[in-house]
Amino acid sequence: MRVTATTDAPPATDADTIVVGVFEDEGIAHDHGGALQALVDSGEAKRGLRKLAVTHAEGRRYLVAGLGGRGDFDPERARVVAAAVVGRAKELGTKTLCWEVPHHVSDAHVAGLVEGTLLAAYTYREFKEPETDGIEALVLSAHHDVGAASTAAATVASFVNRARDLQNKPANVLTPTALAERASELEGVRVEVLDGDGIRAAGMGAFAAVAQGSYEDPRLITIRYEGEGATGPLLGYVGKAVTFDSGGISIKPAAKMHEMKFDMSGGAAVLEALGAIAALKLPVRVAGVIGATENLPSGRSMKPGDIVRSKSGVSIEINNTDAEGRLVLADCLTHAIELGAERLIDLATLTGAMVVALGKTHAGLLASNDDWAAAVESAGARAGELNWRLPLHAEYDEQIKGRYADIVNSPADRGAGGITAAQFLKRFTGDVPWAHLDIAGTAYDNKKPYTPNGGAGYGVRTLVELARGA
């Protein structure tokens, strides 16, 4: 979708549908032809958030969109109302949509309108007939120049949608090799890829153990970005990209196994966030590390009871082959530290326990450093991707102590499963400030108005905001 900004009034644009928002206890700021206020006064157009009414005036189609109370209208509400508008506009056959930007709102609100529009308009149709009723262009009409804000938001939203494309692809198409090929297409970054032989040669015994059951070769994908004028710490973004997770020998129930193509969502978020950061030319340094593999049962799969040695030298007893993501991340975190990362964050669809704990509204946040945790939490809030901090504690280390190895990958005690998984990862982060986002509940089918079904691209916007604040 093309996105442009103008200081011209909406009727001066070529839009076939114009959106005018109305706050509670406020009137229509610019009534085009007098019909809009009349629609509000009659009660047909309501001021409540996401309430929509359609009318025509001066040869144009107008959508009056309720914005709720002005004091409650934040960038997330802008995304929500924009998504509602997209649904109605598509029903009306809109090709060019113009938002009259409400008076006295910030650039963050403008970004919310753009992101909500582009994310809600997204469809994945690689294996279906092309969409014929899509919105082709979005225009932002404001009294002042909002071009920079709208362009940046459109850039970020486009990379979120690319992450959703990766998530939504079937596992027979999005293999570890295909994910590495997508990384190689990014502009403004340097990409290095290790295959299975390279991963084993690098001593990544935990990662290699997960990969050995599949005939698809794994990939360790490293993406480096050096922004001009960067002076801050090297950020290490680490993503789990299990492109299909059957559970291995500890096989999952069949009922929802088709959803396990989404187990690469953390890796997709890291990959496309690096693309967005480079496109925005942010003055930061980032090293992205993505561990891509399948987890399948075969005659050569890792087995419950096996012991593997990680790149850091820690020995790990495999109690459950379906606790594979933390094995991949263990070696990827070590690799990121070896690259010089001074701040670490990993994203992973890691535990069903986190879905039970937080549902689909918040990702679980666990961190070794309070300041870094606050930075991640703040970045998520600005991005509209909520997270909730859970505790780490030395007592949880007792649950992951191994009988035959240093640690186990899956404790016998199932309590606090999301926390013990993070406690496992913490073992591989040393003294580097580290945060873990368990996005198992938020990565797909999260029911947000602008990302209701399929891959949500969760994490891309948080990682971009984190880079902006670095």
- Using one digit for the tens of pLDDT, what is the confidence trace for 30-72? 887 788 999 999 999 999 999 999 999 888 899 999 999 999 9
210 and 311 housed in the same domain: yes
Q: Are residues 316 and 437 in the same domain?
A: yes
Confidence (pLDDT) at 131: 83
Phi-psi region of 46 (alpha: psi -120 to 50; beta: other; left: phi over 0): beta
Of 92, 113, 145, which residue constitutes the final position of a domain? 145
Is 213 found in the same domain as 121? no
For 237-271, b where at least 16 C-beta lie within 10 A, e where not — what string? bbbbbbbbbbbbbbebeeeeeeebbbbbbbbbbbb
The domain that holds 190 is classified in CATH as 3.40.630.10
Tell which of 77, 112, 145 closes a domain.
Answer: 145
Statement to judge: residues 199 and 123 lie in one domain: no
Residue 389 is assigned to a structural domain of this protein = yes
Token pair, residue 228, equals: 């001009």
Judgement on whether residues 351 and 385 belong to the same structural domain of the protein: yes
Does residue 156 belong to any structural domain of this protein?
no
Take residue 68 and report the two structure tokens written for it. Answer: 């709720």
Residues of each annotated binding site? 240, 245, 263, 322, 324
Query: Has residue 140 been placed in a domain?
Result: yes
183 and 141, same structural domain?
Answer: no
**pLDDT tens, position by position, 183-224:** 999 999 999 999 999 999 999 999 999 999 999 999 999 999
Same domain, 328 and 364: yes
Q: Is residue 154 part of a domain?
A: no
Give domain status of residue 253, yes or no. Answer: yes
User: Quick check: is 151 in a domain?
Assistant: no
Per residue in 437-456, pLDDT (tens digit) is 999 999 999 999 999 999 99
d(CA 279, CA 178): 22
Provide the domain count of the chain: 2
Cα–Cα distance between 160 and 237 in angstroms, integer?
16
DSSP H helices in 169-218:
176-184, 196-201, 205-211
Residues forming the active site: 252, 326
Q: Are residues 269 and 210 in the same domain?
A: yes
Q: How far apart are CA 4 and CA 12, in angstroms?
A: 14
Instruction: With respect to residue 131, please indicate whether it lies within any of the assigned structural domains.
Output: yes
Cα gap 60→45, rounded to integer Å: 17
pLDDT recorded at residue 33: 74
- 323 occurs within a structural domain: yes
Q: What is the pLDDT of residues 341-376, one digit of tens each?
A: 999 999 999 999 999 999 999 999 999 999 999 999
List binding-site positions for Mn(2+): 240, 245, 263, 322, 324
The verdict on 301 and 176 lying in the same domain is yes
Query: Locate tokens 């992450």: which residue?
Result: 163
Q: Which two tokens stand for residue 406?
A: 């240093």
Could you tell me the sign of the dihedral formed by the alpha carbons of 244, 247, 248, 254, in that order?
negative
Instruction: Indicate if 391 and 295 belong to the same structural domain.
Output: yes
- List C-alpha distances in Å: 409 to 188, 201, 275: 37, 22, 32
Position 32 scores a pLDDT of 75
Same domain, 289 and 341: yes
Q: What residues in the chain have per-residue pLDDT under 50?
A: none
337: exposed, middle or buried (C-beta count within 10 Å: 0-12, 13-18, 19+)?
A: buried
Domain around 218: 169-468
Looking up residue 138, the CATH number of its domain turns out to be: 3.40.220.10
Q: Which of 458, 457, 463 is nearest to 166 (CA)?
A: 457
Whole-number pLDDT of residue 233: 97
Determine the pLDDT at residue 65.
97
| Domain-terminating residue out of 130, 145, 160 | 145
Nearby residues of 112 by Cβ (< 8 Å), 6 or more positions away: 74, 75, 76, 77, 78, 79, 82, 153, 384
307-309 and 315-317 as β-strands: parallel, antiparallel, unpaired? Answer: antiparallel
Do 113 and 198 share a domain, yes or no? no
